[in-house]
């Protein structure tokens, strides 16, 4: 990813980049009327503003006793003209701001929704290849950059162009001699401005990438702050973040130097040229070849044109940055979702019995294709039965569960539920029939109610309370003053491990799945909590096909079948009694260690 970003930083705005920028305009299409009205208001407002210097010059001629060629007004009447110009300019600016706000806010809101929906519907592989901070940066910083471009930068860019063109046209009519001198310097200034803009754009993009890297560090440390503190590595993370910020500072200072040189160029060449032209204008007035009012107008128009040119470089850099943001966003928007990769078109509701069969399943993770995790797995689970998967860490237990939930495509073999290949099942419908209670429960930061209802958002109050009772949650929920409305905190930190586990069980009960997966659900609990959780799990497993991943063999003595895995293969299968009786068997060795059998 870092190499990718560096390559992008060195690149010019490519055709692909422009295509990406144009494609984002589809989010403006529903608000096209507002956009057109905003552009009209912008154009009218800019043109009205450009009347002001000309009117001021004619007023100066009137004050000097020179009759105007265009309009015969008294000085008092000029005051009314200026008042009308100011009111019109203010109203048009207000209308333009509102219309562009509607376009940018609503358009970018639609983009944020689509971007989030695209990210959340990606496969596991997508998230394994990217960091959370990077994805967060796309949804926040990049979209914010686009919003700024649509609401401010783009409008200001067109405004400066309108003012530049109209100003040059007016000056060419009013003061042709001075205009020729001024226009002779413009191409040189514009070319130099574009060269500076190119370097500024590169540094701006590089700074944005470094800023995203620093955000990743913040995201990771805040998400895993307990790990940081348990290892007393605050100093390490502080240094890591400081180094990242120092890199940003170095790039920013380089960025500032280039911009500073650009400003020197503007002041030396642009304003130097303006002063020279003004000097020539004063000579023309003295010679009687130009009215003083027209010189006055020329000075104002030249100042406006100088400001327009000076701002064009910065506006161009901002728009180039927005083009870079659209490329990154478009790359995500064009990614195939999990549904497109491994989903079935059949979206009919499922009524599963729960018969499961793995037939010669081979699998390697997409990010580690050189390591085969499962090597010819064959297992059967009858509907309503309880099966346990046992083995050392890395033996493939969790992978079997992930494949059952269609998190990945198989390399070889097949998985069937009710004699139908899971490839032919719709992902959403399939997963709605599978419930999981993991070892490390991750709760959302809202209330207990919201976390339990995650299993069935439209559940009634009676269903919610029943799920809490069956999961042995009701007792501790009643002890909280706010009851179901108790805030659990980030990742459920305000609840104990046993309480979090029981909330997860309540969530699974509410979901009422046909297939239940218990991933070492009691391995990290104390004896009292384990008893409460195990009781809740026993209620939950009744009448359901249950797959239990376990290290603690005491929790699986009564299951119907135990599969022992080693290095991605099933090396033993049978009941607890059958496997314990095998001499020198892998399971019996584990049993002897845990139950102290001699």
Say yes or no: 284 and 421 in one domain. no
pLDDT computed for residue 344 by the predictor: 54
pLDDT band at residue 430 using 50, 70 and 90 as cut-offs: confident
Q: What is the pLDDT of residue 359?
A: 92
For residue 451, is pLDDT > 60?
yes
Tens-digit pLDDT profile for residues 137-148: 778 778 887 877
Q: What's residue 470's pLDDT?
A: 83
- Alpha-carbon dihedral sign for residues 53, 59, 62, 67: positive
The pLDDT of 374-386, averaged and rounded, is 89
Whether residue 138 is contained in a domain is answered as yes
Where does the pLDDT of residue 340 fall: very low under 50, low under 70, confident under 90, or very high at 90 and above? low
For residue 11, the model assigns a pLDDT of 38
The CA distance from 216 to 331, in Å, is 19
* Same domain membership, residue 365 and residue 272: no
How is residue 494 written in tokens? 């305000």
What's the number of CA atoms in the CB half-sphere (13 Å) around residue 203? 19
The closest of 148, 327, 136 to 214, measured between CA atoms, is 136
Q: How confident is the model at residue 5 (pLDDT cuts 50, 70, 90)?
A: very low
Closest by CA to 565, choosing from 592, 586, 534, 581, is 586
Q: Is the pLDDT of residue 279 over 60?
A: yes
pLDDT at 597 over 50: no
Select from 303, 335, 367 the last residue of a domain.
335
Q: What is the predicted pLDDT for the residue at 6? A: 40
| 346 within some domain | no
Structural domain includes residue 226: yes
At residue 349 the predicted structure's pLDDT band, cuts being 50, 70 and 90, is: low
Range of lowest pLDDT (187-201, 269-283, 462-476): 187-201
Are 75 and 177 in a shared domain? Answer: yes
Q: What per-residue confidence (pLDDT) applies to 586?
A: 84
Instruction: Round the CA-based radius of gyration of the chain to a whole number and report it.
Output: 35
Looking at the fold, whether 296 and 417 belong to one and the same domain comes out as no
State how far the alpha carbon of 518 is from the alpha carbons of 73, 389, 437, 438, 501, in Å.
Answer: 89, 10, 5, 6, 11
Query: What's the Cα-to-Cα distance from 220 to each of 224, 225, 228, 332, 574, rounded to whole Å?
Result: 6, 8, 10, 21, 43
Q: Which residues form the domain of 392? A: 356-595
Q: Examine the fold and report which residue of 335, 368, 398 is the final residue of a domain before the chain moves on.
A: 335
62 assigned to some structural domain = yes
pLDDT at 362 over 90: yes
pLDDT interval class at 15 (50, 70, 90): low
- CA distances to 241, 251, 400 from 237, rounded to whole Å, are 6, 21, 36
> What percent of the chain stands above pLDDT 90?
2
Does 351 map to a domain?
no
Question: Which pTM was predicted?
Answer: 0.66
Q: How confident is the model at residue 450 (pLDDT cuts 50, 70, 90)?
A: confident
Residue 252 lies in a domain: yes
In this structure, of 184-193, 369-378, 463-472, the range with the lowest mean pLDDT score is 184-193
pLDDT number for residue 360: 92
382 and 331 share one domain: no
Banded pLDDT at 4 (limits 50, 70, 90): very low
- Residues 430, 558 within the same domain: yes
Identify whether the C-beta of residue 45 lies closer than 8 Å to the C-beta of residue 92: yes
Q: Is the pLDDT of residue 9 over 50?
A: no
pLDDT at 313 over 80: no
Question: Would you say residue 349 lies in a domain?
Answer: no
Asked if pLDDT for residue 381 goes beyond 60, the answer is: yes
pLDDT at 311 over 80: no
- Give the chain's domain count: 2
300 and 378 fall within a common domain: no
Residue 250 corresponds to which tokens in the numbers above?
């170095």
Q: If you write DSSP's letter for every residue of 385-416 in order, what string do you get?
A: -EEEEEESTTSSHHHHHHHHTTSS--SEEEEE
The verdict on 267 and 388 lying in the same domain is: no
The domain that holds 557 is classified in CATH as 3.40.50.300
Asked if residue 350 belongs to a domain, the reply is no
pLDDT of residue 177: 74
Regarding whether 489 and 383 lie in a shared domain, the answer is yes
| 37 and 137 share one domain | yes
pLDDT of 240 > 70? The answer is yes
Give yes or no for residue 13 having a pLDDT over 70: no
Q: What's the whole-number mean pLDDT along residues 205-210?
A: 76
Same domain for 328 and 412? Answer: no
Residue 324: give its domain's CATH number: 1.20.1560.10
Amino acid 7: pLDDT:
37
Q: Per-residue pLDDT for 157 more than 50?
A: yes
Q: What is the pLDDT of residue 585?
A: 81
User: Do 416 and 410 touch, CB atoms closer than 8 A?
Assistant: no
Does the pLDDT at position 341 exceed 70?
A: no
Q: List, as one string, the DSSP characters of 512-536.
A: --SEEEEESTTTTS-HHHHHHHHHH
Segment 148-169 mean pLDDT? 82
Average pLDDT over residues 406-430: 87
Which of 335, 367, 391 is the C-terminal boundary of a domain? 335
Task: Render 443-502 in DSSP notation, one character per residue.
Answer: --SSBHHHHHHTT-TT--HHHHHHHHHHTT-HHHHHHSTTGGG-B--GGGTTS-HHHHHH
**pLDDT digit string, tens, across residues 46-56:** 888 888 787 77
Do both 14 and 143 map to the same domain? yes
């Amino acid at each position: 990813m870092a190499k990718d970003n560096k390559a992008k930083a060195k690149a010019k705005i490519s055709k692909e980049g422009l295509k990406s920028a144009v494609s984002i305009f589809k989010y403006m299409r529903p608000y096209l009327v507002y956009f057109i009205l905003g552009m009209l208001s912008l154009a009218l407002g800019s043109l009205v503003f450009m009347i002001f210097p000309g009117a001021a010059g004619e007023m100066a001629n009137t004050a000097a006793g020179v009759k105007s060629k265009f309009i015969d007004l008294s000085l008092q009447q000029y005051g009314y003209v200026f008042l009308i110009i100011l009111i019109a300019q203010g109203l048009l600016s207000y209308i333009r701001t509102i219309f562009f706000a509607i376009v940018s806010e609503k358009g970018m809101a639609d983009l944020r929704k689509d971007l989030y929906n695209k990210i959340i519907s990606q496969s596991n592989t997508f998230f394994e290849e990217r960091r959370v901070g990077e994805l967060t940066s796309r949804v926040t910083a990049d979209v914010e950059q686009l919003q700024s471009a649509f609401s401010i930068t783009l409008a200001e860019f067109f405004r400066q162009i309108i003012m530049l063109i109209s100003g040059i046209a007016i000056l060419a009519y009013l003061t042709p001699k001075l205009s020729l001198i001024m226009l002779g310097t413009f191409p040189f200034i514009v070319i130099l401005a574009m060269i500076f803009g190119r370097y500024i754009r590169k540094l701006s993009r590089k700074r944005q990438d470094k800023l995203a890297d620093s955000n990743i560090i913040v995201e990771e440390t805040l998400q895993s702050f307990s790990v940081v503190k348990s290892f007393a590595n605050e100093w390490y993370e502080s240094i890591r973040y400081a180094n990242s910020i120092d890199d940003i500072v170095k790039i920013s200072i380089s960025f500032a130097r280039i911009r500073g040189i650009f400003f020197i160029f503007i002041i030396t060449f642009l304003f130097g040229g303006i002063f020279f032209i003004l000097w020539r204008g004063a000579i023309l007035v003295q010679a009687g070849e130009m009215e003083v009012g027209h010189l006055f107008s020329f000075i104002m128009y030249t100042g406006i044109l100088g400001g327009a040119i000076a701002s064009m470089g910065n506006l161009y850099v901002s728009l180039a940055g927005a083009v870079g943001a659209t490329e990154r966003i478009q790359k995500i928007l064009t990614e195939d979702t999990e549904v497109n990769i491994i989903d079935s078109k059949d979206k009919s509701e499922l009524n599963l019995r729960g018969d499961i069969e793995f037939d010669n399943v081979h699998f390697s993770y997409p990010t580690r294709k050189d390591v085969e995790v499962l090597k010819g797995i064959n297992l059967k689970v009858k509907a309503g039965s309880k099966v346990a998967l046992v083995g050392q860490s890395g033996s493939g237990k969790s992978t079997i569960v992930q494949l059952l939930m269609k998190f990945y495509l198989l390399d070889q073999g097949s998985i069937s539920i009710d004699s139908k290949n899971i490839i032919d099942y719709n992902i959403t419908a399939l997963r709605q029939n599978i419930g999981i209670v993991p070892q490390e429960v991750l709760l959302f930061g809202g209330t207990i109610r919201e976390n339990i209802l995650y299993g069935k958002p439209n559940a009634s109050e009676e269903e919610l309370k029943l799920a809490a009772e069956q999961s042995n949650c009701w007792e501790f929920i009643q002890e909280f003053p706010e009851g179901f409305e108790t805030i659990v905190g980030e990742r459920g930190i305000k609840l104990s491990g046993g309480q979090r586990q029981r909330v997860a069980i309540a969530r699974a009960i509410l979901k009422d799945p046909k297939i239940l997966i218990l991933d070492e659900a009691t391995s990290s609990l104390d004896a009292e909590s384990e008893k409460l959780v195990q009781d809740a799990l026993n209620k939950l497993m009744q009448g359901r096909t249950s797959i239990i991943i376990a290290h603690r063999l005491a929790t699986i003595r009564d299951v119907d079948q135990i599969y022992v895995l080693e290095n991605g293969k099933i090396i033993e299968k049978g009941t607890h009694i059958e496997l314990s009786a095998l001499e020198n068997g892998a399971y019996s060795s584990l049993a002897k260690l845990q139950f102290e059998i001699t």
